[in-house]
Structure 1
Amino acid sequence: MTEVLSQDEIDQLLTAINAGDTEPEVFKPAADTRKIKIYDFKRPDKFSKEQIRTVSIMHETFARLTTTALSAQLRAMVHVHVASVDQLTYEEFIRSIPTPTTLAVINMDPLKGNAILEIDPAITFSIIERLFGGPGEGTKSQHELTDIESAVMEGIVVRILGNMREAWAQVIDLRPRLGQIDTNPQFAQIVPPTEMVVLVTLETKIGEVEGMMNFCIPYLTIEPIIGKLSTQFWFSSVHRGTTPENLNLLKEKLANVDVSVIAEIGSIQVPIRDVLGLRAGDVVRLNNVRAGDAFSLNIGNKTKFLCRPGIIGKKVAVQIIKKTEELEKEEFEELTAEGEEAL
């Protein structure tokens, strides 16, 4: 805290200066400690650090899913991970990628506009060679994709887009669709050259071949959900997990899962010698089972229903009578009623 001089002290100081006993201190301007940040109005930053971090987290999930999908499809060791997430102009992105390359124009429904998934030529030709039965070492020659090679890459991109939908599920029910595949970056003008984009660079390795996959999303496309790209919203949505979008996505994925359904008449333990001696016409008496009793209908390894045997056309069938939960409820009510009567 600055010390305040009294009037007597001020008078003594002025007297000493006039008498020449002391020299006035040389004035030194205070050092300017402010940090100056250069801001380019032609290249404005539209994404905050927190939003960039959230985009990185989302695509780390996308990278893991893509690693699994490509490993299974190519039958090779594949590794995909997020190398960087940056914001730059669309012109800078177009200038940074080689020609020719694989440029997939992606429709980001329900968001407006398109995005671009660029796959390095080394990765592209390694995938094509692997799917055609080769070792997957790629090729050093650069050429535009043939019609057959384009069709192959379309299938790969469509498979990758399914992973993208799952990775974005906590933010929006994204339904990305492949529009077209180009090889010349100059033909893929989805936004003006000065428009800002977020660029997700995915380092990809297939066997011994290394390259990059770049996912370019314009700010105009992602602007409607920019408020959801925060760490707080991301983790709250992950822990919440009961939104209608999440439940619908979960139901959609479970709808195609195959499970075993077994109608069990009964059970009995017999020695293996008796099993080996069974012949057509032999009768096996089951424990505690009488003619006309209902069967147990098992889903997986759990009993879920009671059923009766029957025939539909020329096929054997069962008719479901009731759920086992309903049966347990009835038994519980009967036991409760008996207990009340005893009291």
Structure 2
Amino acid sequence: MVDVLSQNEIDALLAALSSGEMDAEELRKEDTQKKVRAYDFKRATRFSKDHIRSLTRIHENFARFLTTYFSAQLRTFVQINVVQVEQLPYDEFIRSIPKMTILNIFEAEPLEGRMVLEVHPNVAFAMLDRLLGGTGTAPTKIGSLTEIENIIMEKIFSRALETLQEAWKTVIDIEPRLEALETNPQFMQIVSPNETIALISLSTKIGDTTGMINLCIPHVVIEPIMSKLSVHHWFVSQKKSRAPEEFKQLEQRVTKAKLPITAELGTSQISIHEFLNLGVGDVITLGKSVDSGLDIKVGDKLKYIGSPGTVRDKIAVQILEIIDEGVEEAHDE
């Protein structure tokens, strides 16, 4: 960030240069010297601002999907919002969460590696209380999970991970699958302590209970698709051509569509008086030669020139000429 000098500082600087207290040449030398910036290898920067913005956009959708899902499951007021998306070492994430918490370890094929959805005990036990018929309040003292509570937790969070698939659909089709549910962070080592992770923090409110849900995504897991998290990819993907499978499905649907086809012998104009006096045996002269072909239209578009005839005692039309695309004028005599 560039420092902006106040008017008093500017006046003091000019006065120092005029009096000789400061040397202009020395200032130029200092300005031309290479500036060194400290870099902490324990907090390696792996995600650019562009990547962080994309992750924020994806998980804002994830938060909305989670809100809808939990509202339907718990039948109570639920509000989930993205608070922060940051990058930090995995070890720092482990030290920042409670010693007893709900850790949903999952994989998301085709991505290789494991990720974690950490749910604060207040939020998790409020959900559990609500599912078991309570008002949705967290207990004052939280102990280890019973076997029944563990099964219920696995079921609800396994289905919650399905909303992550919907949120990531614009980038990649993933299939999240819950691998294990842990309560002690010390027993969970999905990557090395110094590995950089993207931490998506979601503020969660269930009834009167508040807490955090944290999604930990190691850099090594999404490194193969990092290019898809750029703004350029988002714009290009909107113009991306359809996949061959989509074209095949579209072709199958189009080939089953029914279109009206008409063959015109010709046209003529008569007065209403002549029309009212038409009788059996009268002849209407058409504005077309007998030797000229018939106009064959698909819908209201002229597409072919044909010749009338019969096939197996049924009236038929033989196509003699295909009209080029865009030609809509009637066939001349």
- Tell me the TM-score normalized by structure 2: 0.67
Q: Distance in 1 between matches of 2:41 and 2:107?
A: 29
Q: How does 1:11-30 map to 2 (within 5 A)?
A: 25=20, 28=23, 29-30=26-27
In the alignment, what sits opposite 1:84?
84
In the alignment, what sits opposite 2:234?
234
Aligned residue identity for 2:228: K
Q: Distance in 2 between matches of 1:57 and 1:84?
A: 11
Q: How does 1:213-228 map to 2 (within 5 A)?
A: 213-228=213-228
Asked if 1 retains the 8 angstrom alpha-carbon contact of 2:42 and 2:89, the reply is no
- Identity value in percent: 42
Gaps of 5+ in 1: 1-22, 252-322
Q: Distance in 2 between matches of 1:62 and 1:246?
A: 28
Q: Distance in 2 between matches of 1:105 and 1:246?
A: 33
Q: Distance in 2 between matches of 1:339 and 1:144?
A: 88
Question: Which residue of the other structure, out of 241, 245, 264, is the alignment partner of 1:337?
Answer: 264
Shift of 1:156: 1.4
Give the 3 Å change call, closer, same or farther, for CA 145–40 of structure 1 in structure 2.
Answer: same
Q: How does 1:158-307 map to 2 (within 5 A)?
A: 158-237=158-237, 239-240=238-239, 243-244=242-243
Give RMSD over aligned pairs: 2.9
Shift of 1:94: 0.4
Cα displacement string for residues 126-158 of structure 1 (whole angstroms, at most 9, x for unaligned residues): 000001111001112121111111111111112
Q: Distance in 2 between matches of 1:167 and 1:40?
A: 33
Give the 3 Å change call, closer, same or farther, for CA 136–37 of structure 1 in structure 2.
Answer: same
Q: Distance in 2 between matches of 1:184 and 1:198?
A: 21
Aligned residue identity for 1:30: L
Give the 3 Å change call, closer, same or farther, for CA 30–71 of structure 1 in structure 2.
Answer: same
In the alignment, what sits opposite 2:153?
153
SS at match of 1:88: strand
Give the 3 Å change call, closer, same or farther, for CA 340–168 of structure 1 in structure 2.
Answer: farther
Give the 3 Å change call, closer, same or farther, for CA 193–71 of structure 1 in structure 2.
Answer: same
Gaps of 5+ in 2: 1-17, 250-255, 269-285, 288-333
Give the 3 Å change call, closer, same or farther, for CA 24–151 of structure 1 in structure 2.
Answer: closer
Cα displacement string for residues 231-260 of structure 1 (whole angstroms, at most 9, x for unaligned residues): 2222443x3476549969xx9xxxxxxxxx
Shift of 1:53: 0.8
Q: Distance in 2 between matches of 1:181 and 1:337?
A: 73
SS at match of 1:68: helix
Aligned residue identity for 1:167: A
Cα displacement string for residues 45-103 of structure 1 (whole angstroms, at most 9, x for unaligned residues): 11111101100100001001111111111111111111000100110000000021100
Give the 3 Å change call, closer, same or farther, for CA 214–27 of structure 1 in structure 2.
Answer: closer
SS at match of 1:82: strand
Asked if 2 retains the 8 angstrom alpha-carbon contact of 1:103 and 1:185, the reply is yes
Aligned residue identity for 1:163: T
Aligned residue identity for 1:188: M
Aligned residues: 243
Give the 3 Å change call, closer, same or farther, for CA 204–27 of structure 1 in structure 2.
Answer: closer
Q: How does 1:308-327 map to 2 (within 5 A)?
A: 325-326=257-258
Is the counterpart of residue 65 in structure 1 residue 65 in structure 2? yes
Q: Distance in 2 between matches of 1:224 and 1:117?
A: 21
Shift of 1:338: 5.3
| Between 34-43 and 215-224, the greater mean CA deviation after superposition | 34-43
| Between 49-58 and 228-237, the greater mean CA deviation after superposition | 228-237
| Between 212-221 and 149-158, the greater mean CA deviation after superposition | 149-158
Aligned residue identity for 1:173: D
Q: Distance in 1 between matches of 2:241 and 2:128?
A: 40
Give the 3 Å change call, closer, same or farther, for CA 211–245 of structure 1 in structure 2.
Answer: farther
Q: Distance in 2 between matches of 1:235 and 1:68?
A: 28
In the alignment, what sits opposite 1:296?
none
Shift of 1:337: 2.8
SS at match of 1:140: coil
In the alignment, what sits opposite 2:101?
101
Q: Distance in 2 between matches of 1:245 and 1:153?
A: 41
